[in-house]
Amino acid sequence: MSATPDLDRILLDAHLPALVLSLVHMTGDASLLKAEWQPTYNAFPRGEPIFPPGAEDAIRAKAKEVLAAKLAGKLPPAPPLSPETTRKMINFIAGADVPPEYLPFLQDELAIDGESSKNPHWETPALKGAASKLKVLVVGAGMSGMLTSIRLNQAGVSHVVIEENADVGGTWLKNTYPGCRVDNSNHMYSYSFEQNHGWPFHFSPQPVLLEYFQGIAKKYDLKKNIRFQTTVLDMAFDEARDLWRVRVRDNKSGAEEVIEANAVVTAVGQLNRPRMPDIKGRESFKGPAFHSAEWRHDVDLTGKRVGVIGTGASAYQFVPEIAGKVKSLTVFQRTPPWAFPVPHYHETVPDGMKWLLEHAPMYDKWYRFFLFWMSTDGLLQAVRADEGWNGPSTAVGQVNQMFREMIAGALAESAGDPALAEKIIPTYPLGGKRGLLDNGVWLEALKRPNVELTTSKIAEINEAGIKTEDGTQHDFDVLIYGTGFHASKFLMPMKIKGRGGRDLHETWGGEPRAYLGMTTPGFPNLFMIYGPNTNIVVNGSIIFFSECSVRYIVNSLKLLAETGAGSMEVRQDVHDAFNVRVDAENAKMAWGAPQVTSWYKNETGRVTQNWPFALVDYWRATLAPDPKDFMLHKAGAKVAA
User: What does the pLDDT read at residue 272?
Assistant: 72
| Residue 141 to residues 223, 236, 249, Cα–Cα distance (Å) | 9, 21, 16
Question: pLDDT-derived band of residue 640, with 50, 70 and 90 as boundaries?
Answer: low
Beta bridge partners of residue 328, listed in sequence order:
305
User: What does the pLDDT read at residue 484?
Assistant: 87
Distance linking the first and last C-alpha atoms of the chain: 59
| 184, 372 Cβ separation under 8 angstroms | no
Q: How far, in Å, CA of 220 to CA of 10, rounded?
A: 33
Share of the chain above pLDDT 70, in %: 97
User: What does the pLDDT read at residue 46?
Assistant: 60
Whether 598 shows a pLDDT value over 90: the answer reads no
User: What does the pLDDT read at residue 551?
Assistant: 98
Question: Regarding beta strands 328-332 and 305-309, do their DSSP bridges make them parallel or antiparallel, or are they unpaired?
Answer: parallel
Question: pLDDT-derived band of residue 101, with 50, 70 and 90 as boundaries?
Answer: confident
- pLDDT tens, 19-45? 999 999 999 999 999 999 999 987 665
Question: pLDDT-derived band of residue 639, with 50, 70 and 90 as boundaries?
Answer: low
Look at residue 232 and give its three-state secondary structure: strand
- pLDDT tens, 483-511? 988 767 788 899 999 999 999 999 999 89
| Sign of the torsion formed by the C-alpha atoms of 316, 318, 321 and 325 | negative
Long-range contacts of 423-427 (CB under 8 A, 24+ apart): 423/333, 423/336, 423/453, 423/455, 424/336, 424/339, 424/453, 425/336, 426/335, 426/336, 426/337, 426/338, 427/393, 427/394
Domains of the chain: 7-117+351-374 (no CATH), 125-273+487-640 (3.50.50.60), 282-344+395-481 (3.50.50.60)
Mean pLDDT score, 537-553 = 92
Mean pLDDT for the chain overall: 94
Mean pLDDT score, 602-609 = 88
Residue 213, judged by CB atoms within 10 A of its CB (0-12, 13-18, 19+), counts as: buried
| 242, 259 Cβ separation under 8 angstroms | no
Question: Regarding beta strands 339-341 and 328-332, do their DSSP bridges make them parallel or antiparallel, or are they unpaired?
Answer: unpaired
- pLDDT tens, 104-145? 998 998 888 888 999 999 999 999 999 989 999 999 999 999
- pLDDT tens, 222-255? 999 999 999 999 999 999 999 999 999 999 999 9
User: What does the pLDDT read at residue 634?
Assistant: 81
User: What does the pLDDT read at residue 1?
Assistant: 45
Whether 2 shows a pLDDT value over 60: the answer reads no
User: What does the pLDDT read at residue 45?
Assistant: 57
Query: What does the angle CA 551 – CA 555 – CA 561 come to, to the nearest 5 degrees?
Result: 155
Query: What does the angle CA 464 – CA 469 – CA 473 come to, to the nearest 5 degrees?
Result: 25
Output 597 or 570, whichever has higher pLDDT: 570
Whether 343 shows a pLDDT value over 50: the answer reads yes
Whether 48 shows a pLDDT value over 90: the answer reads no
- pLDDT tens, 164-215? 999 999 999 999 999 999 999 999 999 999 999 999 999 999 999 999 999 9
Global pTM reads 0.95
